[in-house]
Amino acid sequence: MLSAPATALDVPQTLPAAPPPLHQTPEWYEGQATNWPTNIVFGSRARRLTGSDFLPPCSYEQARPIRDYAEQLRSLQQHYTILDSNRLIIALLEEEPALCALLVEAVRPLKNAFGERRIIHVRGQFSDDNSFLKVAVQLPADFGGDPERALWSFDGEWWRNNCHRSGGALVFDYEIQDAV
């Protein structure tokens, strides 16, 4: 009787040895306690740790700092024409705190790509699924360059390296004014 040739599946498989059990002695734990910080803040109260204190329950969620969004909005108004109510823009800034810094940083690359004396609009786009800010550079009908090329230039110079910071809540585009 002929037997079939051996395949990789027929080769006995061996599992690696299990790692040795971790033996920690009480001395190990005592040595670790000296490396702990002496002041730990949980919520709004500080507590000094001693050797016999137990840590209170805490959350791993990072609390967002309270920010002055009205001040951030005033900062944005120095560079952008805001086309929505302040309340709506502030609501989006509260959802994505990094947006204000991104918008301020984007001014120079936008001007490099589209020209110095351009009006830049910001408006909120709202739907049931998501909300985001749309930034549009206002271009005249007789814009001397290719607006798509200018947008690609902005993308390559700055936006691709920074878009991850927006949380998907920021879009850049251009608008051409009617030649009336």
Is residue 104 within 8 Å of 76, Cβ to Cβ? yes
Task: Assess whether pLDDT exceeds 80 at residue 135.
Answer: yes
More confident: 178 or 110:
110
CA gap 159, 105 in Å, rounded? 10
The residue written with tokens 């994505």 in the block is 96
> Any long-range contacts for 102-106 (C-beta under 8 Å, 24+ apart)?
102/162, 102/165, 102/166, 102/170, 103/76, 103/79, 103/133, 103/135, 103/170, 104/75, 104/76, 104/79, 105/158, 105/162, 106/135, 106/158, 106/159, 106/162, 106/172
- Residue 129 has what pLDDT? 83
Residue with tokens 């608008």: 175
Q: Between 35 and 24, where is the model more confident?
A: 24
The whole-number pLDDT of residue 68 equals: 78
pLDDT at 58: 53
**Confidence at residue 18, expressed as pLDDT on a 0 to 100 scale:** 74
Q: Which domains does the chain have, with CATH numbers?
A: 77-176 (3.30.70)
Considering the chain, what is the average pLDDT of its residues?
A: 79
Condensed to tens digits (0 to 9), the pLDDT of residues 36-67 reads: 454 444 444 444 444 445 555 555 555 555 57
Please report which confidence band the pLDDT of residue 2 belongs to, taking 50, 70 and 90 as the band edges: low
Entry pTM: 0.61
Q: What confidence tens digit (pLDDT) does each residue in 7-18 have?
A: 656 666 677 777
- Alpha helix stretches (DSSP H) within 18-80: 26-33, 69-77
Alpha carbon separation from 28 to 19, 37, 112 (Å, rounded): 20, 17, 59
